[in-house]
Structures are given as C-alpha cells and as structure tokens.
Chain A
Amino acid sequence: MQLEYFQLIDRILDLNIGEKTITVEAQVPEHSTIFEGHFPGFPIMPGVLLTEAMAQSSGWLLLGVMKFERMPFLAMVKEAKMRGFVSPGQLLTIEAKIEHEGSGFAVTSAKARVGSELKCSADLTFRHIPFPDPALRVFMDAMAHKIGFPQQAMPHD
C-alpha cells in the first residue's frame, strides 16, 4: 500500500472472470503521516481509505472483465459500513463481486477482512468509459503487472 500515491492494492490473489469475483491483499503500512493525525495515540485507517481500497479492488475486477478496454471510475458508494478498526501493519484481504453490468456502468459489492474478521463492506457503482488518455492505459498496464494481475486475463495486442 502506497498511501501517498493512493495505490492501495498490493497483490491480486485470485481473479475469476467467469464468476466475476476478485480477491486481493492490501498491506496497511506501519508508518504514515496519515496516522499522526488519524488519530494521535490511536492510529487507525480512515474509513474513506478503506472504501477506496474496496473501490480499487472492484476496479481491477472490472478492468479484467472488460479486458482493459474501458476504465472504471467510482460514481456511487452505498451501504458503506465500517465494522471494526483497522490498525497500522494489518493485512487486509478484500473480496469484490460484480452484482450488475449495465450500459456504461457496473455495480459491485465488496468486503474487507483482517484475518477472518470482517472490517468493512460497501456496495459500489462505477461509470466506465474508454480510456480517456493512452498514458492512463500504459500506467494501468504497469500497475497490473506490479500487483500480479493474471497474464491470461490481460489483453494481448
């Protein structure tokens, strides 16, 4: 997890295009300036970052299902529930599932756990559009490689 770059997902453990599910890991860093303010003496991951981590997990799933032809952007967060504190150094396992594929949008559900303990969940809606800039596509390809996006799920030119 590189909080300063908003790169929250470290690795993809499983991507099932047929089932439209993904499981990823996100390692919360031991140290970050974020924890100095949130909160002094009681550092915890902000709920907005946990929501973003669930959104990025869903985003990788959608990229895979859409064969990297379109880029998803978070549009709506529903039923976001922060069920327990997430502390520095903890390892998040995040699962996401596509609930609906509409025309130009998709809806996912996501859950994040530490060990077996459910820490947060949300229903997320994304708009998706063709990549607005080639540089973004290059960047996402590089990120996909970095986090172990399955090669067989990557489009080959």
Chain B
Amino acid sequence: MSSTFDQIATIIAETCDIPRDTITPESHAIDDLGIDSLDFLDIAFAIDKAFGIKMPLEKWTQEVNDGKATTEQYFVLKNLAARIDELVAAKNAGA
C-alpha cells in the first residue's frame, strides 16, 4: 500500500499535469509547485474522495489569514500528508 504522500503526489501530478518526479515531501504546493486555489479545489476533491475525509480547507485558510498557522504547516506535502493521516485516524476513531 502506497504512503499518504505517494497518493497525494500522484493526485497532484495527474490533476495539475506536474511531472511526478518533481514532487517531493518537501515541496510546497503553492510556492514550489505553483498550484493555484482553483487547482487546489480539484486536488481537495480528489483527496477527499480518495481518503474518505473532508479536508477543512476553510479552517486552515482562516488560521493562516489570522496568523495562527503558516502555509508550510498545511501546504508542504509531508505536512499535508500528516494532516490527512490525522483526519483519517479521527474518522476511523469515530466510526
């Protein structure tokens, strides 16, 4: 079974037509990969469906806008993968 990062990287590569080998755990989705907010909707849709979760994009965005979090915490891919793992674990704990 592929890791969460691998699944995210594949989704991003396919959704945004970015070469898979340029996507690393250290990649920042916005700053390094140039993903804009519209493309990120597509990615969020694919991630939500793949993992059976609802990524709280609005909450994350609000935290960044309020200065309570940095974009790196959510949009560097290794961190995004960790957030997704947390959401999946929370879902499974509540199931």
Contacts and interface: CB of A to CB of B under 8 A. Distances in A.
Task: Give chain B's interface secondary structure class.
Answer: helix
A127 B55 CA distance: 14
Contacts of A3: none
Interface residues on A, range: 10 to 19
Nearest to B57: A103
Interface string A40-53: 00000000000000
Contacts, number: 35
Nearest to B44: A102
A102 B38 contact: no
Contacts of B67: none
Interface residues on B, range: 10 to 19
A107 interface: yes
B14 interface: no
The 10 closest A-B pairs by CB, nearest first: A103-B57, A104-B58, A103-B58, A103-B56, A105-B41, A104-B57, A102-B44, A102-B48, A107-B45, A103-B54
